[in-house]
């Protein structure tokens, strides 16, 4: 098929990858606005365009340069089942152990034959002891603060006891990214919410800690324990501490907090990570949309702060969201927040040493000498990839020491170069890159900016040092088998045809791509790294897609890669956010081998309901259970004309939910089937 067919696909929302309501409530229509990064830094496209011509990419030159072969890998044995060749996108799954499903438009969760799924928790489910049952028509802020929040996103499963073994019982953390009031309240008036509706929205943000256990018998489903002692709700009004080098800065002080060290709540929690010492790192992403009336400064412009009223109108009832009255309040959001799931009375901490941006995630690893390294994407068109390396080393079992590790270290931003790099394995060329230091401890490396300024206005600091502009850096995670990191670049619909090149051969870049990278000597402390393209997403019939050199007639279509997880065999599982307006199918979860003869063979494992986003997959420690967040089902519809009524199928609206997926025992049927 020609490029014209794919370049002229109709778009749904301003971003071209989401519904109108998602664009409005998830990020405040950011993609419909002017790109905030006006720096003259090179784009990733510029770098690759100098190295590999677009013509050579489409004729297979990239495959010759970047394909890697290695040891054949397979998915979790506990999830494995024999696969056969199928039709309509359901190609054989000999390596991954399942028969891929066809892309779907059904209003349901779909999984391969031999697998099953069930709900763990849905919006409004009671999780705190004594919490009332969900009633859509009589919801209050007090009820919501005790119930599962809205729009579930990143998940992680922790052992039942700190530093204890991972068993079939554990603590499930779930982010609650944002609210869609038009689908939450039957009497919502856009631009004129009631105070009670605003308070319910505040209570529906944040996160949940929920104890879960395995269902009795052979099933690997996870069941919630809503009365458990450690269950907790974190909301947009939970007291939190600001820690690290910028804590106490004049940039963080407000009328309500003269110390610059205390803040109420967390907002727009998208991705995250789990630390080696058993705490949650939850990432604040599109925080700018919650504020109003921002003074016209370069700093506010760079972060996309609204100069007029917000879409949500929270400033009507709370002055802290009105930047004309509290100009520093927005500086207290956009951080990585550390939460202790084992102590429901502990105060969450916003770690300023990790910089302020639209954080997508915070995946952790250890350097060769035991320090903590965290990779973070800034989810904006033409923004950057970062990493943090702690000054001190991790000590297993020393929780008091480990809780200090994220307050002192070096913050870097990535520059992708075009010089040859080191091979990531026995076969395959790469290109080089450099981690440019922004801050080391109490020293700023950015001319004219103090440490406080670099950390609070991290984007402006990265602009100055020549970081490479990327196409919406989202989740980035480390493969536990080979040490490489995989960076999801969801899309960049602002890219023009004149910017088409080897890395982004479509203008606009609607479908997104995936970068494979590794630090020198596979050590997170290194300041050099090596990279190559892994996927250029889209429909396999489009000649301008690339699947690590694999036969495109044997792959599933994929659009807008967002979140990622690895199974124990090193296969990458990619969740999407934008397939309904790119390949015109529901968002999905795909599994992809990264080594061996089937490297790059994208195979669809799961599909979510209409209007939903597939977010943040997570495997249990034994690999028997896969956890998936089904975010915003029905988005793009309304209560009057619903796009989805999943999962209740009754008079409730569609409800964001977390599910578990497992291989079904012989003769076992899904609940409700």
| Cα distances (angstroms) measured from residue 602 to each of 607, 613, 630 | 14, 18, 21
pLDDT number for residue 167: 64
Assigned domain for 447 exists: no
Assigned domain for 126 exists: no
Q: What is the DSSP string of 171-227?
A: EEEEEE----HHHH-TT--TT---HHHHHHHHHHSEEEEEEEEEPSSS---EEE-TT
Q: How many CA atoms lie within 13 A of 95 on its CB side?
A: 23
Assigned domain for 274 exists: yes
Give the pLDDT confidence of 74-109 residue by residue, as tens digits: 333 334 332 222 224 344 444 688 999 999 999 999
Assigned domain for 152 exists: yes
Whole-angstrom distance, CA of residue 114 vs CA of residue 65: 38
Whole-angstrom distance, CA of residue 232 vs CA of residue 437: 37
What residue ranges in 81-203 does DSSP mark as E strands? Answer: 115-122, 152-158, 170-176
Assigned domain for 92 exists: yes
pLDDT < 70: residue spans in the chain: 1-22, 29-33, 35, 44-95, 165-168, 216-218, 423-428, 499-507, 665-673
CA torsion 396-401-403-408 (nearest 10°) is -110
Q: What is the DSSP string of 553-595?
A: GGS--B--EEEEEE-TT--EEEEES-GGGTTSS--EEEEE--S
Whole-angstrom distance, CA of residue 659 vs CA of residue 418: 42
For residue 175, what are the domain limits?
Answer: 3-114+148-438+454-663
Count the Cβ atoms, other than its own, within 10 Å of residue 443.
Answer: 11
Structure tokens at 178: 């944002």
∠ CA(48), CA(54), CA(59), 5° rounding? Answer: 125
List, in sequence order, every residue forming a beta bridge with 415; answer none if it has no partner: 434
Residues 6+ apart with CB under 8 A from 420: 429, 430, 431, 432
Q: From the DSSP assignment, how many helices (H) and strands (E) are in the chain?
A: 12, 32
Domain of 502, CATH number, reads 2.120.10.30
In the chain, how many domains are there? 1
Whole-angstrom distance, CA of residue 145 vs CA of residue 126: 10
Assigned domain for 336 exists: yes
- Measured over the CA atoms of residue 660, residue 661, residue 664 and residue 665, the dihedral's sign is negative
Whole-angstrom distance, CA of residue 264 vs CA of residue 3: 49
∠ CA(215), CA(216), CA(219), 5° rounding? Answer: 60
Q: How many CA atoms lie within 13 A of 235 on its CB side?
A: 20
Are 148 and 127 a contacting pair, CB within 8 Å? yes
pLDDT number for residue 86: 29
Are 470 and 385 a contacting pair, CB within 8 Å? yes
Whole-angstrom distance, CA of residue 440 vs CA of residue 371: 14
What are the φ and ψ backbone dihedral angles of 192, each rounded to 5 degrees? -145, 60
Assigned domain for 641 exists: yes
pLDDT number for residue 16: 45
> Of the candidates 520, 530, 630, 514, which has an alpha carbon nearest to the alpha carbon of residue 572?
514
Structure tokens at 505: 């051969």
Q: What share of the chain is helix, strand, coil (3-state, %, to 5)?
A: 15, 30, 55
How many residues are recorded in the chain? 673
Structure tokens at 273: 């990570």
pLDDT number for residue 452: 98
pTM above 0.85, yes or no: yes
Whole-angstrom distance, CA of residue 625 vs CA of residue 366: 26
Assigned domain for 570 exists: yes
């Amino acid at each position: 098929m020609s490029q014209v067919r794919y370049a002229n696909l109709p778009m749904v929302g301003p971003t071209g990858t989401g519904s109108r309501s998602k664009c409005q409530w998830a990020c405040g229509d950011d993609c419909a606005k002017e790109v905030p990064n006006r720096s003259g830094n090179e784009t990733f496209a510029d770098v690759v365009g100098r190295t590999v011509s677009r013509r050579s990419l489409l004729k297979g030159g990239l495959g010759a340069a970047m394909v890697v072969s290695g040891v054949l890998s397979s998915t979790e044995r506990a999830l494995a089942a024999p696969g056969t060749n199928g039709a309509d996108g359901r190609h054989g799954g000999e390596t991954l152990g399942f028969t891929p499903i066809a892309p779907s438009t059904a209003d349901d969760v779909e999984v391969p034959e031999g697998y099953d799924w069930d709900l763990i928790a849905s919006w409004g489910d009671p999780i705190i002891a004594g919490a009332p049952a969900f009633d859509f028509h009589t919801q209050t802020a007090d009820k919501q603060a005790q119930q599962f929040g809205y729009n579930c996103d990143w998940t992680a499963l922790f052992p039942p006891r700190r530093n204890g073994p991972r068993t079939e019982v554990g603590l499930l953390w779930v982010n609650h990214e944002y609210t869609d009031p038009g689908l939450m309240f039957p009497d919502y008036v856009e631009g004129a919410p009631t105070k009670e509706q605003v308070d319910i929205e505040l209570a529906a943000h944040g996160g949940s800690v929920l104890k879960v256990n395995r269902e009795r018998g052979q099933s690997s489903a996870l069941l919630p324990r809503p009365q458990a002692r450690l269950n907790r709700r974190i909301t947009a009004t939970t007291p939190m501490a600001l820690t690290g080098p910028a804590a106490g800065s004049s940039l963080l002080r407000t009328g309500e907090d003269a110390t610059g060290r205390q803040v109420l709540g967390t907002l727009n929690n998208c991705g995250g990570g789990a630390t080696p010492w058993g705490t949650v790192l939850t990432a604040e992403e599109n925080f700018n949309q919650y504020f109003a009336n921002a003074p016209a400064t370069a700093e506010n412009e760079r972060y996309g702060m609204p100069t007029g009223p917000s879409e949500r109108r929270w400033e009507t009832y709370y002055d802290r969201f009105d930047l004309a009255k509290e100009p520093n309040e927005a500086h207290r959001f956009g951080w990585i927040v550390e939460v202790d799931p084992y102590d429901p009375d502990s105060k969450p901490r916003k770690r300023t040493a990790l910089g302020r941006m639209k954080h997508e995630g915070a995946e952790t690893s250890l350097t060769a000498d035991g320090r903590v390294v965290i990779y973070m994407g800034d989810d904006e068109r033409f923004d950057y990839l970062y990493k943090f390396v702690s000054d001190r080393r991790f000590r297993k079992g020393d929780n008091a020491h480990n809780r200090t590790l994220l307050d002192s270290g070096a913050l870097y931003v990535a520059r992708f170069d075009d010089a040859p790099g080191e091979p990531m394995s026995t076969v395959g060329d790469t290109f080089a890159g450099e981690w440019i230091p922004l801050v080391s401890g109490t020293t700023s490396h950015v001319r004219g900016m103090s440490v406080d300024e670099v950390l609070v206005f991290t984007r402006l600091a990265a602009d100055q040092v020549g970081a490479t502009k990327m196409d919406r850096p989202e989740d980035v995670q480390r493969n536990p088998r080979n040490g490489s990191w995989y960076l999801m670049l969801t899309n960049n619909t602002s890219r023009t045809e004149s910017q088409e090149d080897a890395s982004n051969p479509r203008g606009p870049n609607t479908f997104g791509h995936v970068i494979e990278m590794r630090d020198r000597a596979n050590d997170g402390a290194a300041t050099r790294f090596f990279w190559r393209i892994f996927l250029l997403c889209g429909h396999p019939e489009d000649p301008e897609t690339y699947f690590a050199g694999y036969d495109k007639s044997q792959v599933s279509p994929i659009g807008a890669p967002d979140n990622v997880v690895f199974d124990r065999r090193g296969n990458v599982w990619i969740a999407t956010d934008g397939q309904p307006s790119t390949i015109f199918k529901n968002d999905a979860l795909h599994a992809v081998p990264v080594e061996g003869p089937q490297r790059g063979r994208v195979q669809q494992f799961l599909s979510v309901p209409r209007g939903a986003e597939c977010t943040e997959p997570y495997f249990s420690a034994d690999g028997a259970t896969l956890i998936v967040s089904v975010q915003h089902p029905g988005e793009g519809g309304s209560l009057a004309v619903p796009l989805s009524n999943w999962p209740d199928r009754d008079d409730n609206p569609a409800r964001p939910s977390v599910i578990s997926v497992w291989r079904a025992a012989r003769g076992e049927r899904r609940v409700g089937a």
